[in-house]
């Protein structure tokens, strides 16, 4: 790719299609999630090497608890394994890992593993990997409002200080707007992902299933982003 490409500062990915990818190979859904976790590590490193500063990924939604107990448990065990034993390249590449989502309903061993990777990477500065786990976009907005109400009641915050820019400070992480939002697997919806942050995002949809979403596919999304005319409501 040519050097003059604009690189989005904040990219988000709805990592969809693990189950279908596995089924197409006669394997169980868990195998798809395992392969998806490898894709995530690869793409996070690649995105940062291309100059992306923040990568937000949808790992587990609040609604994913509706899945079978065995699938939920597999995913939770996979997260623990990733956060405690893998992700060595993420750590070595100076990427800071943060989480967005509700802590309630998560197993203690999952919370412990999340704390371990957060702690190991807290001083890293080259990029941020924001893992949305037990996350819902509407829930995030409601939690932010509740947080604001509490601070106002305690006289720690004035309502006059809240506007669309300062509101970011009350979200799970203060990472600013998403420039490019990617969804894999041919679905065309936002599924309660980062709605506040995606107000002016460019959307990129691909039929590729997440375990197959590699560096080349990421580059296609960047090229597509470069062909967009971002007007933010302005007239041309």
Rounded to whole angstroms, the Cα distance separating 161 from 168 reads: 12
Rounded to whole angstroms, the Cα distance separating 127 from 143 reads: 26
Q: Mark whether 229 is an active-site residue.
A: no
Asked whether 64 and 75 are in contact (CB, 8 A), the reply is yes
Select the residue whose beta carbon is closest to ligand FPP and give its number: 19
**Based on CB atoms, which residue is closest to ligand FPP, 16 or 140?**
16
Task: With contacts defined by CB under 6 A, name the span among 2-10, 30-38, 154-162, 172-180 that binds ligand FPP.
Answer: 30-38
Q: Mark whether 64 is an active-site residue.
A: yes
Cα–chain-centroid distance for residue 131? 5
Among 5, 20, 72, 91, binds ligand FPP (CB under 6 A): 20
Give the nearest distance from C-beta 82 to ligand FPP in angstroms. 4
**Based on CB atoms, which residue is closest to ligand FPP, 16 or 179?**
16
Nearest partner of 62 among 97, 27, 7, 100, judged by Cα: 100
Q: Which of residues 174-203 bind ligand FPP (CB under 6 A)?
A: 185
Among 10, 11, 13, 17, binds ligand FPP (CB under 6 A): 17
43 makes contact with ligand FPP (CB under 6 A): no
Beta-bridge partner residues of 129: 55, 97
Asked whether 7 and 52 are in contact (CB, 8 A), the reply is yes
Nearest partner of 190 among 124, 137, 153, 233, judged by Cα: 137
- Hey, which residues are catalytic here? 16, 64
Q: Which residues bind ligand FPP (CB under 6 A)?
A: 15-20, 33, 36-37, 40, 59, 64, 79, 82, 131, 185, 210
């Amino acid at each position: 790719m040519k050097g003059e490409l604009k690189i989005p500062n904040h990219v988000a990915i709805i990592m969809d299609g693990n189950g279908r990818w596995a089924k197409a190979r006669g394997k169980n859904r868990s195998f798809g999630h395992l392969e998806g976790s490898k894709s995530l590590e690869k793409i996070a490193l690649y995105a940062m090497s291309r100059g992306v500063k923040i990568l937000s990924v949808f790992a587990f939604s609040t609604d994913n608890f509706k899945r079978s107990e065995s699938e939920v448990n597999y995913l939770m065990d996979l997260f623990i394994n990733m956060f405690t034993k893998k992700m060595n390249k993420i750590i070595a590449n100076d990427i800071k890992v943060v989480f967005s989502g509700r802590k309630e309903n998560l197993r203690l061993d999952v919370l412990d593993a999340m704390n371990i990777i957060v702690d190991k990477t807290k001083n890293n500065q080259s990029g941020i990997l924001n893992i949305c786990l037990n996350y819902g976009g509407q829930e995030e907005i409601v939690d932010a409002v509740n947080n604001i109400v509490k601070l106002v009641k305690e006289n720690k915050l004035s309502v006059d200080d809240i506007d669309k820019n300062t509101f970011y400070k009350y979200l799970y992480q203060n990472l600013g707007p998403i420039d490019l939002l990617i969804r894999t697997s041919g679905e065309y919806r936002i599924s309660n992902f980062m709605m506040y942050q995606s107000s002016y995002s460019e959307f990129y949809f691909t039929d590729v299933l997440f375990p197959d979403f590699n560096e080349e596919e990421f580059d296609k999304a960047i090229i597509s982003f470069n062909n967009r005319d971002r007007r933010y409501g302005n007239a041309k």
